[in-house]
Amino acid sequence: MSEVLIEVRGAGKRFRTWKRREGVRGFFANLFAREWTEVTALEGIELEIRRGEFVGLIGANGAGKTTLLKCVSGITPVSSGSARMFGCDSFELRDEHKRRLSMVMGQRSQLWWDLPAIDSFRLLREIYSIPKSDFDARVAAAAERLAVGDKLERQLRNLSLGERMKMEIIGAFLHEPDVVFLDEPTIGLDLVSRETIRRYLVEINRARGVTIVLTSHDMEDIEETCRRLVILRQGRVLFDGGLVDLKARVYERRAIEVHLEASSPGWDPAWEPLLAPFDARLERAAPLTLLFSVSAPAVQRFVPFLFERFAIRDLSIEHHPLDMIIRQIFQGRESGA
């Protein structure tokens, strides 16, 4: 078994926030008698990540993904339990440990807007004490791989969003870290840029054994890069396992999308109990489109049931999309933890 690089035991994170009151009276009340409330961002997190793993961290907005990244990377201390990296308390990491990690926040560019990326890389070279020959070789290789070799000298503000993110990725891997945290690195990017970045991450993970922890709302990011998935809901780990395990569930169920004729009756909520014998659920109901999730063995019986009730124009049966499973987990209808 490879070395454990990240170890989180019973970690919780709580912080206090105060309610802002309006008006002149509220202003003075805010100054002298604030109404504090405690927010629990994480609770009882257990996690162990080994060298070379590629872990996808997903959850709805506010689930605690970014907070967990910050606790593990040492930006913020945990309120209870422990978060350790490289065998040390994450919040007490020394410089020699910090040289081994890197972080990219997709929504917060770290490169300077008015300068070419290469200038920001030179600053990173000094921060991480990278020898010049290594630096030049790494920048050239990464820029070529990400197809931005001719953009290094161009002012960052003149690059596209995808090119800027590629520069962020190059900067994050310049010092050859052992652990990289990527917080929504593909947010807002076009299909081609997303593909290029994913492929680069997978390659570097395999070639160098870099441990990568990725958060994303894009399930394609997760499916194409991660071998392991951690799902958070309301600050707790809901699922922690191989993507293969989760995909096995995909094959247990089918998604049936039904397109109705204009003359067809729509879905009647009173029919809900009729779905139980098929282990079926209505996932989405639009005026002329219905989406059902059905257990695979019941599909043969369920389709005639649909034809009995609706005038159907078109019908498709597909494997359950991964994001539907994830959505069900977020909504608490499945628990694989």
Partner 1 sequence: MSSLAPVHPLVRDLRLLGVAFGYELRKVTAWRAGFVVRELMRSLWRPLVMIFVYRAILATPDARVGGFDFPTMVAYLILAASFEKLLFHQRGLDLADQIFQGYVTKYLTMPVRFFVLALGRFVQHVAVQASVVAILWIAGWALFPQWWPRPASASAALQAFGLVLLGSYCAFLVCFLVNVLAFWLEVVWTLSAMASFVFSFAAGVLVPVSAMPDGLAGTLRWLFPYWAVSAPGELFLGRLGTPDFVRGVLVLLAWIVALELLRQFLWRRGLRRHVGAGA
Residue numbers at the binding site for partner 1 (CB under 8 A): 13, 15-17, 39, 41, 67, 70, 73-77, 95-96, 98-103, 105, 108, 110, 112, 114-115, 119-120, 122-123, 125-131, 134, 155, 175-178
Q: How far is the CB of 84 from partner 1 (least distance, A)?
A: 15
Q: How far is the CB of 119 from partner 1 (least distance, A)?
A: 6
Q: How far is the CB of 218 from partner 1 (least distance, A)?
A: 22
What are the CA-CA distances from residue 278 to residues 123, 146, 274, 294, 306 (Å)?
Answer: 61, 48, 8, 7, 11
Taking the least distance from each CB to partner 1, the nearer of 25 and 94 is 94
Q: How far is the CB of 118 from partner 1 (least distance, A)?
A: 11
**Closest to 101 measured CA to CA, from 218, 212, 208:** 212
Taking the least distance from each CB to partner 1, the nearer of 90 and 293 is 90
Taking the least distance from each CB to partner 1, the nearer of 155 and 264 is 155
Tell me if 171 sits within 8 A of 127, measured CB to CB: no
Q: b or e along 184-208 (b: 16 or more beta carbons within 10 Å of the residue's beta carbon)?
A: bbbbebeeebbebbbebbbebbeee
As a whole number of angstroms, the distance between CA 287 and CA 303 comes to 19
Taking the least distance from each CB to partner 1, the nearer of 78 and 326 is 78
Q: Across the chain, how many H-helices and E-strands are there?
A: 11, 14
| Longest CA pairwise span in the chain (Å) | 73
Joined tokens for residue 1:
């078994």
Taking the least distance from each CB to partner 1, the nearer of 30 and 295 is 30
- Name the E strands within the chain: 4-19, 35-50, 54-59, 80-85, 88-89, 101-105, 179-183, 211-215, 228-233, 236-242, 253-260, 281-286, 289-295, 312-319
Q: How far is the CB of 135 from partner 1 (least distance, A)?
A: 9
Q: How far is the CB of 201 from partner 1 (least distance, A)?
A: 18
Taking the least distance from each CB to partner 1, the nearer of 120 and 205 is 120
